[in-house]
A and B are shown apart, each in its own frame.
Chain A
Amino acid sequence: MATGSEVIGKRYPPTTYAVGREKIREYAAAVGETSPIHFDVDAARAAGHADVVAPPMFAVVYGARAVGPALFDPEVGIDFAMMVHAGQEFVWGPVVVAGDEVTTTASLKDVADRGGMVFYVFETVSENQRGETVCTGTWTQLVRGGS
């Protein structure tokens, strides 16, 4: 049995992230976005949004705070020196805009040993202040030389 498989299904405490206008601008610039809806409030409002719009991959920013404690959970027992981020999936709902409060809950979905390589699959579910699911993330970490 792979390390951590006995805690498949474990859920971690939710974390709430307050989405700031300047953080969206900083993130959008770092990933090369140029559309004014990520930077300019008037442009975002003219396009029908309440405030500047987070790029989809901003899910990493509000989701990471929830995934961290799961990755570092000693009960899961990941060997970080041997860990590689193998895959990632996001499914998006309504867009996230500045002023939103996004609450994310992480869980360990699966641990699978495939010939000495152990795949750890974490899920994050992120909801906005209206209870709408804005993003579901599936984070697959590969640990080489696992049990």
Chain B
Amino acid sequence: MKPGDRIELKVTPDPYLTIRYAGASGDFNPIHIDEDFAKRVGLPGRILHGLWTMAQVARAHTDAAGGPEKLRRLSVQFRGMGRIGEEIVVSGRVREVRDRVAIVDSEATQSGHRIIRNGEAEVDTV
């Protein structure tokens, strides 16, 4: 990884993803798994878990760096809501490399809307 290098990951969450992720993570907030509940609280329907979306940002880095142990730090801000069935694009760019650690800026978008912004990661380059 060197300054200016880009990373990218594309993934489309299928209709049952939030059910599987709820079981895997233990986060059973009904806004993610119950269509009727989500609509009753004013959402357009079930929405993605923000921490699942953050895991996609993390995966973009670990795939690019060559392993889970390379990711030393990841910080993100959540914005808006992630929708089921629409492609997510994670994109990142290496800002600088210091002491063999790359600083990577990233975001995740869906239909042009940023659902994760100000992603900042530290990734081991060796």
Task: Establish whether residues A55 and B68, one from each chain, have CB atoms under 8 Å apart when the complex forms.
Answer: yes
Q: A57-B51, A87-B78 are in contact. Are A32 and B24 (CB under 8 A)?
A: no
Chain A interface (Cβ < 8 Å from any Cβ of B): 23, 26-27, 29-33, 35, 37-38, 47, 53-57, 60-61, 64-65, 84-92, 94-95, 138
Task: Establish whether residues B27 and A64, one from each chain, have CB atoms under 8 Å apart when the complex forms.
Answer: yes
**Distance of A27 from chain B, by nearest CB (Å):** 4
Task: Establish whether residues A56 and B74, one from each chain, have CB atoms under 8 Å apart when the complex forms.
Answer: yes
Asked if B37 CB lies within 8 Å of chain A CBs, one says: no
Task: Establish whether residues B55 and A57, one from each chain, have CB atoms under 8 Å apart when the complex forms.
Answer: yes
Q: A55-B59, A55-B62 are in contact. Are A37 and B74 (CB under 8 A)?
A: no
User: Given known contacts A27-B25, A94-B69, what 9 new A-B pairs fall within 8 Å (CB)?
Assistant: A32-B11, A37-B67, A61-B24, A86-B77, A87-B75, A87-B78, A88-B75, A90-B74, A90-B75
CA A33 to CA B58, docked complex, whole Å? 11
Q: A37-B67, A56-B58, A95-B68 are in contact. Are A30 and B25 (CB under 8 A)?
A: yes
CA A56 to CA B61, docked complex, whole Å? 11
Partner of B74, one of A26, A86, A89: A89
CA A27 to CA B21, docked complex, whole Å? 7
Task: Establish whether residues A61 and B26, one from each chain, have CB atoms under 8 Å apart when the complex forms.
Answer: yes
Nearest 7 A/B pairs, CB to CB: A30-B24, A89-B75, A57-B55, A31-B55, A27-B24, A91-B73, A30-B21
